[in-house]
Chains A and B, each alone.
Chain A
Amino acid sequence: MTTAALPQVPGTRDPRVSRTSRVTRFAGSPVLRLVVKRLLMAIPIMLGVTVLTFWVLSLIPGNAAQQLLGPEATPEQVAQLEEQLGLNRPGYVRYGEWLRGAVTGDLGRSIVSNQPVSDLLGERLPVTGELVLLAFVVSLVLAVPVALLAAHRPGGVWDRISMVVSTAGLSVANYVLALILVLVFAVQLGVLPAIGFTPLSEGLWPNVRSLILPSAAIGLPLFCFYARFLRGDLVDQMQQEEYVTTARAKGVGSWQVLIRHAFRNSSFGLITVVGLNLGALIGGTVIIEQIFALPGIGQMLLQAINTRDFIMVQAVVVVFALVAVVANLVVDLLYAVLDPRIRYGSR
């Protein structure tokens, strides 16, 4: 905002203003700098997360050899398998080995099944991806109109109803909600399957049908959160921002002020929250996949922890961390695309 106060003459030498051609705007653009910065920042994050995971796993009693052989195995048998799997070497050696592979894109093989990790991820990621996407879309599509309705008349009937509903929704843990949903829709009404996943190859509807309850269990609290956040931001815009008064002074109707003017500005805040949420959300799928017996990446994580398959655990942790990093990057990029103040670089 500081530069904006200065008179700007066409052809001024201020680089932030004279950046008119598309090419020059991109080359030194804040967008490109942003991407590079974020990717550099991702390196220590990924290292930290994987080291931490490795260390925590080593603290849990038992290892993959014991898990594979079962409680009946003699110590000699276990020791032999440990040696075979390379588990008897020090932790930092094994981490170093894993890391060397990982940076070249080779995430290794599962200790337990000896299948390549990338194959397993390829099977499981789409299930989790679909679940998360569905939960996201549904929660956002519902949250926006509810927030608009509530913010149109703060303290009004709709505002109070949505406040009660969202408070309730936010105070219920998603696994409790999952059990309630199963009880009502699967057990009592019998309209939806309680557990299991039907792949897309068996038709769109059967596929979506198998994901309705799990995505509702994830999406409903999310919907409450988004609706509440957006409502709050909209009310702030409407009550505190002078451009809203300008719009009203022009004769713009109250709904138009809300949708055309306030919502446009509030959407930036919403994007941030959605992006920050994505990391937490994907973590939340672990328990939901377990409850609904969905063959997703979360379920795989639990199995891998049970069998002390540290290679598999690492793979899932890397995916989770990557999702969080990429989501943040996408938020910043969306900002850059949507907010003219950044797009045309003024600050």
Chain B
Amino acid sequence: MSGKQRTATYPVGDSYVSEGVIAAASSGPAAPGPAGEPGEPLLVVEDLRVQFTRGGRRINAVNGLSYELLPGSMMAIIGESGSGKSVSSRALMGLLPPTATITGSVSFAGRELIGMPEREMRELRGGDIAMVFQDPARSLNPTMKIGAQVTEAIRLHSDSDRKGAHARAIELLRMVRLPAPERRFHEYPHQLSGGMRQRVMIAIALAGEPRLLIADEATTALDVTTQAQIMELLVELQQRLGMAVVMISHDLGLAASYAQDVVVMYAGRAVEHAPTATLFGNVRMPYTRALLGAIPALEREPHSLFEVTPGQPPDLSALPKGCPFRPRCPNALDRCVEMPPFREHEPEHWWACWNPVGDETGNGEQE
């Protein structure tokens, strides 16, 4: 672990640290939070908003997304295509084009990422926060050898020399179980299969020893068998290296099989968030219900979209007033023209709905 900013962390009660230092550390503006302590989230996303301006039109891709992620855990973000999963995760890494306006707050290990200067952000990218993308055929540079692409990442985040980086690259390629890593090192991406390329992408992501790995539909482009292998690999690495993983997917089944927590997104917001078992045992959002209903558990196609969900996904440049799911919602009430708040209604179970599934009384919000 790089420990760049963890050296500045003073665990409360540490006998070597005087009261004064603790006070100074926790009151200073740059004081990092006590990251890594059990119970303290690694990532806190609060009211994240992303708006694109394109040809005079405003596209509200993310509209007040909030969630928390514990260190070392695996969380899934699911939602239909266009619900803002990719945009929100790219926003927190500062990977969006300049046409994007980002507001809200993303705190990573106590550091605010939104508005962070590019120089600092660059240290974090590929260092403490890494990302794997959907299409392994397009996400590797076609004109560079595998080895060069892995060692580039290694050398950016450590001061190893050529030889050291080479050895480390082979080690990483072995860790992601790429067959014949020494030979593959000298090959180009097109000489590898899709699954192998995604393993290389993961090796690149691991180069900076990240504390957070975001896998954006990392298995969507792969066949079912390879998909399972890559997911197993991610789970294994997550446990072995103690890193947190956010797996973004439109595949509810995949999320259910691998993630500890699930965030359901709709129209750029989190609409339901709970530990996986809680969520699937006690669905509260009509939208999540619709997603589940759209996919009969046994006959589910591995890459099936939620095509049975009635109605169209919302137009992000003209969102309806109140709950964005209202035009498609079977539970809709008059009250739904007001935006339902996203709250922890039951222990560890958050949702944003006036009339949730299970207690359709017409006044689901009891307060």
Binding site for B on A (CB under 8 A): 1, 4-8, 10, 17, 239, 241-243, 245-254, 260-261, 264-265, 338-341, 344, 346
Contact = CB atoms under 8 A, between A and B. Distances in A.
Contacts, number: 102
Contacts of B127: 251
16 contacts: A7-B196, A8-B191, A242-B138, A243-B138, A245-B133, A246-B204, A248-B125, A249-B95, A250-B153, A251-B124, A251-B156, A252-B156, A260-B152, A264-B144, A340-B145, A344-B188
Contact of A7 (B143, B188, B195): B195
B180 A249 contact: no
Nearest to B93: A249
A245 B93 CA distance: 11
A243 B143 CA distance: 10
B242 interface: no
Given A4-B193, A8-B193, A249 B126 contact: yes
A153 to B, nearest CB: 9
Given A5-B194, A264-B144, A341-B190, A246 B152 contact: no
B125 A249 contact: yes
B207 interface: yes
Q: Give the top 9 A-B pairs by smallest Cβ distance, nearest first.
A: A251-B126, A250-B126, A340-B188, A242-B138, A251-B125, A243-B141, A250-B153, A7-B193, A242-B139
Interface in B113-146: 118, 122-127, 130-131, 133, 135, 137-145
A292 to B, nearest CB: 41
A6 B138 contact: no
A341 B193 contact: no
B13 interface: no
Contacts of A17: 191
Contacts of A1: 137, 190
B61 interface: no
B289 interface: no
Contacts of A252: 126, 152, 156
Nearest to B127: A251
B119 to A, nearest CB: 9
B136 to A, nearest CB: 9
Contacts of B196: 7
B141 A247 contact: yes
Interface residues of B, number: 44
A8 B191 CA distance: 8
A279 to B, nearest CB: 27
A265 B156 contact: no
A95 B95 CA distance: 65
A264 B141 contact: yes
Contacts of B201: 246
Nearest to B150: A250
Contacts of B190: 1, 4, 340-341, 344, 346
B139 A250 contact: no
Given A250-B126, A252-B152, A338-B143, 16 more contacts: A4-B137, A4-B192, A6-B193, A10-B180, A241-B138, A248-B125, A249-B126, A250-B125, A250-B153, A250-B156, A251-B153, A253-B122, A261-B141, A265-B142, A265-B143, A339-B143
Contacts of B152: 247, 250, 252, 260
A7 to B, nearest CB: 4
B55 interface: no
B157 interface: yes
B208 interface: yes
Nearest to A3: B190
B153 A239 contact: no
B144 A246 contact: no
A46 B124 CA distance: 60
B347 interface: no
Interface string B287-331: 000000000000000000000000000000000000000000000
Nearest to B204: A250
Contacts of B180: 10
Contacts of B123: 251
B84 to A, nearest CB: 17
A243 B140 contact: yes
A226 B130 CA distance: 36
Interface string B232-271: 0000000000000000000000000000000000000000
Interface string B88-99: 001001010100
A62 B140 CA distance: 64
Nearest to A341: B190
B191 A344 contact: yes
Contacts of B138: 241-243
Nearest to A346: B190
Contacts of A264: 141, 143-144
A5 B194 CA distance: 5
Interface string B136-175: 0111111111000000110011000000000000000000
A245 B139 contact: yes
Q: Name, among B145, B191, B204, the residue most crowded by chain A CB atoms within 10 Å (CB to CB).
A: B191
A246 B179 CA distance: 22
B41 to A, nearest CB: 22
